[in-house]
């Protein structure tokens, strides 16, 4: 059993399968976000939208890394895996910041946290209401096992970054098939 797992894991950690896995993983995260948004009607806040950008970057880097790795070899693959890890850790940082905002531990961007100021004349109150985002960053619209979507995104991004780093550190002759 352990031998079969080890062999599968070893094949998965080769540059091409690993970058394909990371690219697919980020694609799946974006698809999941779209399903929650359009399928279940959970509108994203601005921080939710920020968290999607690193996954888009990972998809672009993964595709470019696979193409460049085929032409230029392992060192280029390692470079792209490092860039992918950096993008994923950036996404994790945004996600965990969002988690802190949701639970009131960290301050969020002024544009999307807290309430709208209802002071001043009617025109300024109306301007404040119209300028307020429709979704507040400090609210948890959905959770699973007590963890918000932002927390899940952060955890998954850290795991994916760990795979990218492990792939960079892996020794041995890579296979590009």
Strand partners, 143: 148
Backbone angles phi, psi at 61, to 5 degrees: -65, -40
Confirm or reject CATH 1.20.1550 for domain 11-109+116-169, answering yes or no. Answer: yes
- Cβ density class 110-132: b for 16+ within 10 Å, e for less: eebbeeeeeeeeeeeeeeeeeee
For the segment 155-165, the average pLDDT, to the nearest whole number, is: 93
Q: 32-83 pLDDT, tens per residue?
A: 999 988 888 888 888 888 899 999 999 999 999 888 877 777 777 788 889 9
Mention every residue, 6+ apart, whose C-beta is less than 8 A from residue 58: 22, 23, 25, 26, 84, 87, 88, 91, 160
The string of DSSP codes covering 26-50 is: HHHHHHHHHIIIIIS-----HHHHH
> How far is 10 from 14, CA to CA, in rounded Å?
7
pLDDT band at 114 (very low <50, low <70, confident <90, very high): low
At 133 the pLDDT is 55
From 13-17, 92-96, 124-128, the region with the lowest mean pLDDT: 124-128
At 28 the pLDDT is 94
The domains of the chain are located at 11-109+116-169
Q: 74-98 pLDDT, tens per residue?
A: 777 788 889 999 999 999 999 999 8
At 127 the pLDDT is 66
| Count helices and strands in the chain by DSSP H and E runs | 6, 2
Kindly state the greatest CA–CA separation across the chain: 72
Q: Is 176 left (phi over 0), alpha (psi -120 to 50) or beta?
A: alpha
> How far is 21 from 84, CA to CA, in rounded Å?
12
> How far is 106 from 151, CA to CA, in rounded Å?
14
């Amino acid at each position: 059993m352990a031998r079969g797992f080890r062999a599968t894991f070893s094949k998965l950690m080769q540059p091409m399968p690993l970058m394909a896995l990371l690219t697919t993983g980020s694609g799946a995260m974006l698809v999941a976000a779209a399903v929650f948004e359009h399928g279940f009607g959970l509108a994203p806040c601005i921080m939710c939208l920020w968290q999607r950008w690193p996954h888009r970057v990972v998809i672009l880097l993964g595709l470019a890394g696979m193409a460049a790795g085929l032409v230029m070899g392992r060192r280029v693959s390692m470079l792209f895996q490092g860039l992918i890890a950096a993008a994923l850790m950036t996404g994790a940082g945004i996600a965990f910041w969002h988690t802190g905002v949701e639970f009131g531990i960290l301050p969020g961007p002024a544009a999307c946290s807290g309430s709208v100021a209802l002071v001043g004349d009617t025109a300024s109150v109306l301007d404040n209401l119209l300028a307020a985002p429709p979704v507040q960053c400090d609210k948890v619209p959905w959770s699973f096992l007590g963890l918000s979507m932002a927390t899940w995104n952060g955890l998954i991004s850290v795991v994916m970054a760990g795979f990218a780093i492990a792939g960079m550190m892996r020794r041995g002759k890579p296979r590009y098939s």
